[in-house]
């Protein structure tokens, strides 16, 4: 298993993260357990912020909180001087409860409800990223009722789509998100916004994909967005203050994943926007970006306890752990791949190839196919690496499994930032209607 951040093998032959022995963490907090390497999260934050600082441009690095959103995480983002993207009332509430400065919150999403917009207006968030015409008019009306002017960007689809190694340039993207540049919707949106009294258009936003390893997609998007900005300036006489180029920076989950250093992504974006704006004699606006996965992904490790086995001779050996798709749905959702190791026998040589199964009632509930490990025994602690993004955030209570705890580890100290759910949490929102209570009573009487 690749050792991210402060992960290492200690004198006892155990995996250690943030100066904490993973076997001790499993004993103290139980399993499954999400362990987050706080120093690595902060290092990633600083890599983005520092790369922009050296560029001389005005910028905001907004953490896309959907990747991993808890109050403690919001504190880190604030301390590191970054902004925060939210996409729902729940994420907004989390940020506000954590004391995150509202003016550094950006609200995304293709279907913000009137309630969410009002909540965000009342909190005085910094910016709405408006996705469609319905939302534009709703935002203008609600801001009008409150006698405020809502700052906003338009999400536009520049006709660039990137995934990992390739990007494709398409004429018109078939996407639920944003205003299409190719068919003129983005241009009409700007015209429309200029007529509205209660919105202030700061600029435009584009997000081209996720887990991207190369800079070409970002450069292509920057070119198209800048050309759009120039057209809007020339024809509508509006100069954008902000260009937001989204997130999607790739991370290393398994061997063969080849992300670039953060400074390379930022460097490429900065030099493209400088060049492109330069061509139009356009003053370079503030550049905003929105990393999610690349801030928290490789900082996360999930610890599981190994339970049962099923050895099918000549076919495969299944090793089951005490979690699965409830704490990490990504393999079941999109064949995401992970690496792992036995945290309690980290120094032992690999001896067998097994497949790691979750405990849910779904054949698709597999965490890792064909992983080499030492001979596995019940009670071993399996560590799965790179689970910091879109794991806790996507966790569910399927099979009424309680969601695991999350601990932040740093310099030998482990702090719970999310408690493991209790049985009371599991039934806490259940209600038995009175008539059913009566049925139970009458059965007992009979």
DSSP assignments along 163-188, one per residue: EETEEEE-SS---SSSEETTTTHHHH
4-63: contacts with ligand PLP (CB under 6 A)? none
Q: Which residues contact 77 (CB under 8 A, 6 or more apart)?
A: 45, 63, 65, 83, 84, 100
Question: Taking CB under 6 A as the rule, does residue 67 contact ligand PLP?
Answer: yes
Phi and psi dihedrals of 73, rounded to 5?
-65, -40
Question: Taking CB under 6 A as the rule, does residue 128 contact ligand PLP?
Answer: no
Catalytic residue among 20, 69, 360, 361: 361
Is 361 considered catalytic here? yes
Evaluate the CA torsion angle 96, 157, 217, 201 in order and state its sign: negative
DSSP assignments along 201-218, one per residue: EEEEE---EEEE--SHHH
In the complex with ligand PLP, the residue whose CB is nearer, 60 or 290, is: 290
Is there a contact between 201 and 152 (Cβ–Cβ < 8 Å)?
yes
Q: Which stretch binds ligand PLP (CB under 6 A): 3-11, 141-149, 240-248, 328-336?
A: 240-248
Is there a contact between 354 and 378 (Cβ–Cβ < 8 Å)?
no
Question: Taking CB under 6 A as the rule, does residue 290 contact ligand PLP?
Answer: yes
What is the radius of gyration, based on Cα positions, of the chain? 24
Question: Taking CB under 6 A as the rule, does residue 135 contact ligand PLP?
Answer: no
Question: Taking CB under 6 A as the rule, does residue 388 contact ligand PLP?
Answer: no
Residue with the shortest CB distance to ligand PLP: 292
Closest separation in Å from C-beta 63 to ligand PLP: 9
In the complex with ligand PLP, the residue whose CB is nearer, 7 or 83, is: 83
Query: Closest Cα to residue 330, out of 299, 302, 371?
Result: 302
In the complex with ligand PLP, the residue whose CB is nearer, 63 or 304, is: 63
In the complex with ligand PLP, the residue whose CB is nearer, 104 or 207, is: 207
Peptide bond into 148 cis (omega under 30): no
- Among 64, 266, 357, 371, the residue binding ligand PLP under the rule CB under 6 A is 64
Q: Which stretch binds ligand PLP (CB under 6 A): 36-44, 112-120, 246-254, 315-323?
A: 246-254
Question: Taking CB under 6 A as the rule, does residue 248 contact ligand PLP?
Answer: yes
Query: Closest Cα to residue 123, out of 137, 103, 140?
Result: 103
Phi/psi-derived region of residue 256, left when phi > 0, alpha when psi is between -120 and 50, beta in every other case: left
Q: How far is CA 299 from the centre of its chain?
A: 12
- Among 18, 291, 323, 340, the residue binding ligand PLP under the rule CB under 6 A is 291
- Among 246, 259, 331, 404, the residue binding ligand PLP under the rule CB under 6 A is 246
In the complex with ligand PLP, the residue whose CB is nearer, 18 or 246, is: 246
- Among 112, 207, 403, 410, the residue binding ligand PLP under the rule CB under 6 A is 207
Closest separation in Å from C-beta 210 to ligand PLP: 4
Query: Closest Cα to residue 4, out of 40, 48, 30?
Result: 40
* Residues near ligand PLP, by CB under 6 A: 64, 66-67, 108, 207, 210, 246-249, 290-294
Which residues does the annotation mark as catalytic? 361
């Amino acid at each position: 298993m690749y050792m991210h951040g402060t992960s290492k093998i200690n004198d006892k032959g155990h995996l250690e993260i943030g100066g904490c022995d993973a076997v001790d963490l499993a004993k103290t907090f139980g399993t499954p357990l999400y362990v987050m390497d706080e120093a690595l999260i902060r290092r990633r934050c600083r890599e983005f912020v520092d790369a922009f600082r050296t560029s001389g441009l005005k910028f905001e690095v907004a953490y896309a909180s959907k990747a991993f959103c808890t109050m403690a995480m919001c504190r880190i983002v604030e301390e590191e001087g970054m902004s925060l993207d939210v996409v729902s009332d729940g994420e907004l509430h989390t940020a506000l409860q954590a004391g995150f400065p509202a003016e550094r919150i950006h609200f995304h999403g293709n279907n913000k409800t009137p309630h969410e917009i009002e909540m965000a207006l009342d909190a005085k968030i910094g910016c709405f990223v408006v996705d469609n015409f319905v939302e534009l008019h709703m935002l203008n009306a609600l801001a009008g009722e409150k006698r405020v002017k809502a700052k906003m960007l338009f999400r536009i689809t520049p006709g660039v789509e990137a995934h990992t190694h390739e990007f494709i340039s398409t004429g018109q993207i078939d996407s639920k998100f944003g205003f299409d540049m190719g068919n003129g919707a983005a241009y009409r949106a700007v015209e429309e916004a200029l007529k509205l009294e209660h919105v202030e258009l700061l600029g435009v936003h584009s997000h081209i994909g996720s887990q991207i390893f190369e800079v070409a997609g970002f450069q292509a998007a920057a070119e198209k967005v800048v050309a759009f900005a120039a057209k809007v300036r020339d024809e509508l006489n509006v100069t954008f203050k902000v260009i937001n180029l989204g997130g999607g920076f790739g991370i290393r989950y398994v061997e063969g994943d080849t992300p670039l250093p953060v400074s390379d992504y930022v460097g490429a974006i900065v030099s493209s926007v400088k060049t492109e704006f330069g061509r139009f004699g356009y003053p370079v606006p503030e550049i905003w970006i929105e990393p999610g996965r690349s801030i928290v992904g490789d900082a996360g490790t999930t610890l599981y306890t190994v339970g049962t086995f099923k050895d099918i001779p000549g076919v495969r050996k299944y090793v089951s752990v005490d979690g699965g798709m409830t704490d990490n749905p990504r393999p079941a959702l999109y064949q995401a791949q992970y690496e792992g190791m036995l945290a309690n026998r980290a120094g032992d040589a690999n001896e067998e190839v097994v497949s790691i199964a979750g405990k849910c009632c779904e054949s698709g509930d597999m965490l890792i196919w064909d992983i080499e490990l030492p001979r596995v025994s019940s009670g071993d602690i399996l560590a799965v690496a790179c689970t910091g993004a879109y794991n806790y955030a996507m966790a569910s209570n399927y099979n009424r499994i309680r969601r695991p705890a999350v601990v932040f580890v740093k310099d030998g100290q482990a702090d719970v930032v999310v408690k493991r759910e209790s049985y009371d949490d599991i039934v806490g929102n259940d209600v038995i209607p009175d008539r059913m209570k009566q049925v139970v009573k009458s059965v007992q009487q009979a």
